[in-house]
Structure 1
């Protein structure tokens, strides 16, 4: 790997790390933010939800825009927007200002992260070199959430919550400066090759409304008129988008991409896996603080072994294992480790010992360092150069949809079980623990489903690639 390629990979990884960190660094700082800015309990969730809605809703459109107007230009624009939004978030003095800044952060993250994988797979074309690059890149995604919780705890306790956002400003500025120098220039294929405005409106509106509906389920319930009505509208918009893509002269999403078993299977497995991983990233931290009484700093430090385990495996082992045994085999091995770790969490007691009840799970969660690089390899394996941004945006979209579903489903189940236990006379600690254990059990089921997808859908290499699936040129 040449020096220029190493610099480009560092830039791409740094930008991704900022995005991943921003999704998790807020969680341990939420009590401090609520106390300082006067958020209501319902309003506080919008410091997370506003980011998720903008990020998840724009990824697919942004990925295609990268193919059309140039991935480097979109990457630079996204990082600039994210950096400015981080400054605004760090300077926020009211709930409305912080929520608006978080939404803008989500927009910037979507623009930048949607094209990262597209740049990576076109920059690293040799199989072994690409596997090493994906392993390094995936380190930032695999360990980023855990690092975010550690860093969030340290910054919140040592300084104040404003710094969880302000720290992005110098990192963002350096990323932009080095990206201008190191990333290859590309002109894109032109807006005329895929400027489907109606399709863009349908998919962006459908995804944003769908994620909004999902993250509000905890407050309004699964069967409320609001949830069912908004869910139906979102489904109608997304169905309209699919119909539009079948008939549009220049579709935003080439549906042929789903004929690849690698693409379809990897995206489905990723959605299931990340839905389950929310239980680890968020609920374990809440369990430590609300049941065991850990401070924000202690919670972050307690999560550190998981960050080290995931990061070490993804950085030093995943590329060699994928090159030797294949991405599918590595994926299955990682999912087995994650399933064992989640199964361990289903037995958490009210009065836990960190060394006995939590640390073993922190080691087993290293399976995430195998799963994410393998999924990335499979999800991008069949992407033709002209569709690399689209495949990257699709892969990033399923990540965010998976996280949103995990947040809605697992937190709602945990809250409902906790309420039932409180009514039955349980102590608050016992009721909370019972709710978390139920969420961990469901998360284990989601990981088992991802394992089935890996066994069945990805059971053999795809014989047809998106290059072969591309329409034949007119004669």
Structure 2
């Protein structure tokens, strides 16, 4: 019973972290009207959040390993609650961005700690995979649910409530964590938390996102762009050199020698690069092209969030049992690709609504609820337990980094489409289709290597 409560607490955290990424999209028009900011600012409400998360989640993983899983989880969850309150009461756009950044920092501490708590609580391999499957599935459900309820909340209660809904639920998770999560044991290894590297990688991600987003305007300020590009490259080289010689590196490059770690983290990057730009385009498409209001769009998407939960509970465990982790991930990635293709057909044919419903079915209900758990397990299943916080932090960084940079890339392509009189939706969807195809191919390639290794292992002398 206690194990179930611990898993529930961890799942509450990942559910609302994922929900917070997607719930905001349907509220953006109301926020834009409230703050009177232009379309270019929309992207940064999301980008600041995901890149702060991406930059500091490694530090969160390190701190959970060295300072204690329970302590860091509660600290991150409490910071997320405070930042959500601040965002809901925002009176200026600048303050909203600050609070979004603090939300990202809070989940960067809480999520890797939650994953380390699960790993420490569930010790049997099959039991641990099942727990991580549920944990990852809750992220997929959170993404899908956020799209569904974001429009309803913003239309009926105001955009502020997309932040206020976090407070009672995460507050309850904190109380349950204080009561049921076991106390931290003294860390076997202590050392420098390497805060500078955490700040440095966050700065690198922010600069990279800005450079990608601003490629369409290089001619307007070439000197500034060049200086920032040189600064970004120099900081990247310094970060790698620093991590290789630091006594307590934030990124242990030896982890990438373990089977599945590279594949899981590339998969997380590609999944983030596909999903966050997808929900950005879907929000615009439903409201600007198909003419849905925020509330009607939410009602349209809501059944798919319920279906996502049903698939995670009843279908996903059977897929893991019958097909294994990698083949399940391939199936999920194929659903993601099919969804992008259906989205494209919706835009370029007369059957707008049927194809967009198929796209939402493939991505919101099927793709995320299957793919996210699979790549999460791939990224950490062969990592020593003492480094599960770090490994989950790396996986979270890859997913959030992919989301932020993918959003910037799609934004750039849509800008260029406008300049050269192309179709902006076509430009964005082509980029997403290529990314989704890459995700399928890299998992399929890993499966071929797995099969080859299994074949060598079963060969014995006659």
**TM-score in same-fold range (> 0.5):** yes
Selected match of 2:148 from 128, 147, 150: 150
CA distance in 1, matches of 2:190, 2:236: 22
Q: In the alignment, what sits opposite 1:208?
A: 203
After superposition, the Cα gap between the structure-2 partners of 1:128 and 1:113, relative to the gap in structure 1 and judged at 3 Å, is same
User: Could you tell which deviates more after superposition, 265-274 or 226-235?
Assistant: 226-235
User: Could you tell which deviates more after superposition, 401-410 or 446-455?
Assistant: 446-455
- Check conservation: 1:150, 1:299, Cα contact below 8 A: yes
CA offset digits 1:66-85 (Å, max 9, x no partner): 10100110000001111011
CA offset digits 1:348-376 (Å, max 9, x no partner): 33685454221122222213222111111
Equivalence map 1:356-367=2 (5 Å) = 356-365=354-363, 366-367=366-367
State how many pairs are aligned: 448
Listed as ranges, the gaps of 5+ residues in structure 2 are 454-462
CA distance in 2, matches of 1:232, 1:352: 47
**Greater share of residues in helix:** 2
Q: In the alignment, what sits opposite 1:111?
A: 109
The answer to whether the aligner puts 1:195 opposite 2:168 as a matched pair is no
CA distance in 2, matches of 1:170, 1:343: 39
- Check conservation: 1:203, 1:241, Cα contact below 8 A: no
Q: In the alignment, what sits opposite 1:401?
A: 401
After superposition, the Cα gap between the structure-2 partners of 1:46 and 1:130, relative to the gap in structure 1 and judged at 3 Å, is same
Q: In the alignment, what sits opposite 1:369?
A: 369
The CA RMSD measured in Å over matched residues stands at: 2.4
CA distance in 1, matches of 2:261, 2:451: 9
- Check conservation: 2:337, 2:433, Cα contact below 8 A: yes
User: Could you tell which deviates more after superposition, 77-86 or 127-136?
Assistant: 127-136
Cα distance, 1:231 vs structure 2: 3.9
CA distance in 2, matches of 1:242, 1:216: 20
- Check conservation: 1:245, 1:252, Cα contact below 8 A: yes
CA distance in 2, matches of 1:50, 1:435: 24
Listed as ranges, the gaps of 5+ residues in structure 1 are 422-430, 465-475
After superposition, the Cα gap between the structure-2 partners of 1:317 and 1:32, relative to the gap in structure 1 and judged at 3 Å, is same
Q: In the alignment, what sits opposite 2:301?
A: 303
Matched position secondary structure for 1:161: coil
Cα distance, 1:419 vs structure 2: 4.1
Task: State the TM-score, normalizing by the size of structure 2.
Answer: 0.90
Q: In the alignment, what sits opposite 1:412?
A: 412
Matched position secondary structure for 1:304: helix
CA offset digits 1:9-57 (Å, max 9, x no partner): 1111111111111112111111211222333444444322332232121
- Check conservation: 2:216, 2:415, Cα contact below 8 A: no
CA distance in 1, matches of 2:362, 2:153: 27
- Check conservation: 1:66, 1:188, Cα contact below 8 A: no
- Check conservation: 1:348, 1:437, Cα contact below 8 A: no
User: Could you tell which deviates more after superposition, 226-235 or 314-323?
Assistant: 226-235
Moved over 6 A (4+): none
Matched position secondary structure for 1:439: helix
- Check conservation: 1:342, 1:361, Cα contact below 8 A: yes
Q: In the alignment, what sits opposite 2:172?
A: 174
Q: In the alignment, what sits opposite 2:77?
A: 79
CA distance in 1, matches of 2:254, 2:118: 22
After superposition, the Cα gap between the structure-2 partners of 1:323 and 1:159, relative to the gap in structure 1 and judged at 3 Å, is same
User: Could you tell which deviates more after superposition, 65-74 or 237-246?
Assistant: 237-246
Cα distance, 1:322 vs structure 2: 1.1
Equivalence map 1:344-363=2 (5 Å) = 344-349=342-347, 353=351, 355-363=353-361
